[in-house]
Amino acid sequence: MEYRALVLEDIRENDEIKALILQQSKYLEDLGYTEHGIRHISYVSKTTANILRETGADERTVQLGEIAGWLHDIGNALSRKYHGLTGGALAYNVLARMGMDPAESALIANVIANHEEETGVATSALSAALQLADKSDAHRSRINKRTYDENDIHDRVNMSIKKNYLVVDRNKNIIRLVIIMDGTSAPMEYLQIYIPRMVMCEKAATYLGYTFELVINGVLINHHKRARGKMVLRSSERELSPTD
């Protein structure tokens, strides 16, 4: 049987996928969640591919990373609960119908099913890269303006994040998440809701053979072997998918 080497463009144009993404986005917006539409999936798609490229993956894996990033949240078209698992099942079926090699569809299904911190485990570079990309996306542009509530900690934390980006430092084997917050919230509040996701990022980076560093407002939060206090980012470091 002839299979098709699908790329992101094929995925973006598919009507079934368009409908699922519209539904996922609308459903979560109605429930008052942060943005889970084209902006978020574009960020995750691009950032997953960038992490894979920077950490030395082959070109096909980078392409599959773009696809998995685009599809990773479609389970939310059904329900928030278990959306990783349902999304993996949905993605496998659509991709198989589109003629993708079953081995590739199965890998993408596994990556999607493992992207949430409650149950997700990275057993492939693709999965680890997508977890890092997804969990790093906290930013004021994700705020749902219609339901914004300053008494809601998620809204406050996202609103306060003016800039966030990932850096892959191949020389020092470090993957660094850099976050710049203003006084709308505080690093403590960020940690209160993001600790499980940051632990997932630490494990994902370890899987890729890297150390994960979380830097908020210039302070290294999660690692003590290197210099403490203010971090000076070298100009040679490339920002992956900055979101401002």
Segment interacting with Fe ion, rule: CB under 5 A, options 91-99, 132-140, 198-206, 220-228: 132-140
Segment interacting with Fe ion, rule: CB under 5 A, options 127-135, 145-153, 173-181, 233-241: 127-135
CB of 133 to Fe ion, least distance (A): 9
Q: How far apart are CA 73 and CA 70, in angstroms?
A: 8
Nearer to Fe ion, 43 or 210 (CB): 43
**Applying CB under 5 A, does 117 fall inside the site for Fe ion?**
no
Total residues interacting with Fe ion, rule: CB under 5 A:
2
CB of 28 to Fe ion, least distance (A): 10
User: Tokens for 18?
Assistant: 């368009």
Question: Which residue from 121, 51, 43, 57 is spatially nearest to 84, judged by alpha carbons?
Answer: 121
Nearer to Fe ion, 73 or 104 (CB): 73
According to CB under 5 A, which one of 73, 104, 117, 202 is a site residue for Fe ion?
73
Neighbours of 99 (CB within 10 A): 14
User: Tokens for 211?
Assistant: 């150390």
Asked if 140 contacts 157 with a C-beta cutoff of 8 angstroms, the reply is no
CB of 137 to Fe ion, least distance (A): 7
Task: Annotate 174-195 with DSSP letters as a single string.
Answer: EEEEEEEE-TTS-HHHHHHHHH
**Applying CB under 5 A, does 134 fall inside the site for Fe ion?**
yes
Asked if 145 contacts 180 with a C-beta cutoff of 8 angstroms, the reply is no
Chain residues binding Fe ion by CB under 5 A are 73, 134
